[in-house]
Amino acid sequence: MAEIKQVIVPDIGDYKDVSIIDVMVKAGDKINAEDNLITLETDKAAMDVPSPYTGVVKELKVKVGDKVSQGSVILMLESSDSGGVLQKNDQSSQPTPNKATAPAAKEVSEKAVEAKVPSQVARADAQPSTQGMAQLLNRDTSSAKAHASPAIRRFARELGVDIVLVKGSGEKGRVTKDDVQNFVKSALGQTRGAAGGNGLQVLAMPVVDFAKFGAIESKPLSRIKKLSGANLHRNWVTIPHITQFDEADITEMEAFRKELNAEYAKQNIKITPLAFMIKAVVVALQKYPEFNASLDASGENLILKQYFHIGVAVDTPEGLVVPVLRDVDKKGIVQLAKELGEISTRAREKKITAAEMQGGCFSISSLGGIGGTAFTPIINAPELAILGVSKAIIKPMHQDDTFVARLMLPLSMSYDHRVIDGAAAARFIVFLSQVLSDTRRLAL
Ligand code: CAO
C-alpha cells in the first residue's frame, strides 16, 4: 500500500547548516531509488543526496539556497516501497560525491574532502571533444573553474561538454542543467553557422618542416595582413561568389582623360582611369539599387542604401587597405581623382583611420596600373559586389564589317549570389561598360 514518507537529510558527518545548491526534483515527479534529489555544498565539496525509495514526490520542503543539517526534511514521497519514515541513522539516502550508491556516513565525509577529483577528471575527459567549441568561443579553458554540482558535472560529461566553458546562471554563478543544455544548443548553432555541421569541414593544414627541403627564413605577417587575411577568409568561405567578366571600350574615355590630365597637371592633379570608374560604378548603382545594399544581420532583409560611398583597394607595403570615398554621386571626376590621390598616399603612409575604411557600399580593386588580364576579387562584406579592373589594352574590335583598334578595359565583378542573380550581374556590368564607353552618360 502506498505510504507518504518523509525523506530527510542523512548523516553528513560533522557538517551543519549546509547549503542546498541544486534541487533536481519537483512535486509530481516520479523518481526511482538512487535518483539524486538535492545537492549539498560544504566548504569542501558538493554532494548529491539520492532517494532511498521509488515513488512520487508529493511535496518539496526545501529550495536552492536553504541551509540544512542531518535530519532536515527534504520532501514528502508517496512510495509503496517498504521502510516507512526514514530514521536519522537510516543510511540508505546518504549523500555521495559522485556515485549513486550510498556510502557510510564516515565514508561520505571522507569522500566529500576528495570531491574535487571527479570534476578534474571531467575536465580532462571533455577536452578532446570540446576543443572545437572552445576555439569557437575563443575561451581559455585552462584557468577557469566551474561551480557545479556532481550531478551537473556528470550531465555535462555525458554530453561531452567541458563544464569550465559553461557560464553559470545559478546562485553565485553556479552552472545549472539549463546552462549546460543552452551551451550545447548554442555551440551546435555556431558550429552550423561556421559551416561545421553540414559536411563542409575542411582538413587541417598540414604542418610542414620546410627546412627539410632547403634554407628558409621566417618573417611575421604584418598587422594589416593578419587583419585583412582574416576578413578575406571569412568573406571567401561564407559568401557564394560568382565573378562576371566584361570588357569596356574606353578609347574615347582615354582621350578625354588625357585632355583633362594635361589641363589639371598645373594643379598637380593626376587623373587616372580609376576616377572615371568610381563615378561610372555609382551611375550603375543608381540604376541597379540592389547592388547598393547589404544583407541585415538576420540574412533575411536587404538594406538599401541611399548614399554612395565607394571603397578603393590600395596596395601598401604593409598590405591591402580599402579606404572609402564618400558621397561619390555628389562629386565630379576631377574631385574624385584628387581625393583618390590623397587617400592612396595617406594609406601608404599608414595615416588612414579605421573610420575612413568604414561605410562603403561597393568596392573597386584596380590592378590596371600593374597588368594582368582578369582576376576574381573577393567581396568586401557586408557589401554585395566588388569590381576588379585589369590593364586596358588595344585590341582589334569588329565594327561595321571591319576591324578597328580600340582600347579595351577588362572588368571582373564578383557578387554575392545569395542576393544578386546572374542576369542582374550581367545587366549591371554591361551597363557599366556602356557608361565607360560613352562618358557623356556619367553626367546623366
Ligand atoms: N589600364 C591601363 N592603365 C591603367 C589602368 C588600367 N586599368 N589603371 C591605371 N592605369 C595607369 C594609370 O593611368 C597610370 O599611368 P600613368 O602613370 O602613365 O599616368 C598608371 O597605370 C599607374 O596608375 P596608379 O596605379 O598609380 O593609379 P590608379 O588610380 O589606377 O590606382 C590605386 C590607384 C591606389 C588603386 C593603385 O595604386 C593601387 O594600389 N592598386 C592596387 C590595388 C590592389 O592591390 N588590388 C588588389 C586587391 S585584390 O587582392
* Residue 365 and residue 313 in contact, taking contact as beta carbons nearer than 8 Å: yes
The candidate with the shortest Cα–Cα distance to 258, out of 439, 398, 431, is 439
Cell numbers describing residue 34: 538512487
What count of residues does the chain have? 444
Classify 369 as helix, strand or coil.
coil
* Residue 318 and residue 311 in contact, taking contact as beta carbons nearer than 8 Å: no
Identify whether 382 is preceded by a cis peptide bond (ω within 30 of 0). yes
| Ligand 1, atom 36, residue with closest C-alpha | 314
Classify 173 as helix, strand or coil.
helix
* Residue 396 and residue 405 in contact, taking contact as beta carbons nearer than 8 Å: yes
| Ligand 1, atom 19, residue with closest C-alpha | 272
Decide whether any atom of ligand 1 lies within 6 Å of the 272 Cβ: yes
Q: Kindly list the distances between the CA atom of residue 93 and the CA atoms of 90, 155, 324, in Å, as whole numbers in the listed order.
A: 7, 21, 70
Which residues carry out catalysis?
Answer: 417
pLDDT for 152 equals: 85
Q: Give 392 Cα–ligand 1 centroid separation in angstroms.
A: 11
Give the tens place of pLDDT for each residue, 89-113: 344 445 544 433 333 333 333 333 2
Sign (positive/negative) of CA torsion 195, 196, 201, 206?
Answer: positive
For the chain, the helix, strand and coil percentages under 3-state DSSP, each to the nearest 5: 35, 20, 40
Decide whether any atom of ligand 1 lies within 6 Å of the 282 Cβ: no
- Please give the single-letter amino acid code of residue 276: F
For a mutational test of ligand 1's pocket, the pick from 366, 367, 386, 407, i.e. the residue with the most ligand atoms closer than 8 A to its C-beta, is 366
- Please give the single-letter amino acid code of residue 53: Y
State the closest ligand 1 atom to the C-alpha of 272, by its place in the atom list counted from 1: 13
Residue 88, judged by CB atoms within 10 A of its CB (0-12, 13-18, 19+), counts as exposed
* Residue 86 and residue 8 in contact, taking contact as beta carbons nearer than 8 Å: yes
State the closest ligand 1 atom to the C-alpha of 375, by its place in the atom list counted from 1: 48
Q: Give 370 Cα–ligand 1 centroid separation in angstroms.
A: 7
Q: What angle do CA 241, 221, 130 make, to 5 degrees?
A: 70
Classify 310 as helix, strand or coil.
strand
Residue 302's φ and ψ, nearest 5 degrees, are -100, 130
Decide whether any atom of ligand 1 lies within 6 Å of the 320 Cβ: yes
CATH architecture of 240-443: 2-Layer Sandwich (3.30)
pLDDT for 199 equals: 63
Domain 3-97 has CATH 2.40.170.20: no
Q: Give 367 Cα–ligand 1 centroid separation in angstroms.
A: 6
pLDDT for 122 equals: 28
Decide whether any atom of ligand 1 lies within 6 Å of the 325 Cβ: no
Strand partners, 347: none
Decide whether any atom of ligand 1 lies within 6 Å of the 392 Cβ: yes
Ranges of residues in the chain with a pLDDT under 70 are 43-45, 81-145, 189-200, 444
Cell numbers describing residue 277: 570608374
State the closest ligand 1 atom to the C-alpha of 365, by its place in the atom list counted from 1: 45
Locate the domains of the chain by residue range.
Answer: 3-97, 110-219, 240-443
Decide whether any atom of ligand 1 lies within 6 Å of the 146 Cβ: no
Q: How many CB atoms lie within 10 A of CB 320?
A: 17
CATH of domain 110-219: 4.10.320.10
Classify 22 as helix, strand or coil.
strand
The candidate with the shortest Cα–Cα distance to 364, out of 414, 317, 305, is 414
- List strand residue ranges (DSSP E) for 265-326, in order: 293-295, 302-304, 310-312, 314-316, 319-321, 324-325
Residue 205, judged by CB atoms within 10 A of its CB (0-12, 13-18, 19+), counts as exposed
Decide whether any atom of ligand 1 lies within 6 Å of the 340 Cβ: yes
- pTM listed for this prediction: 0.62
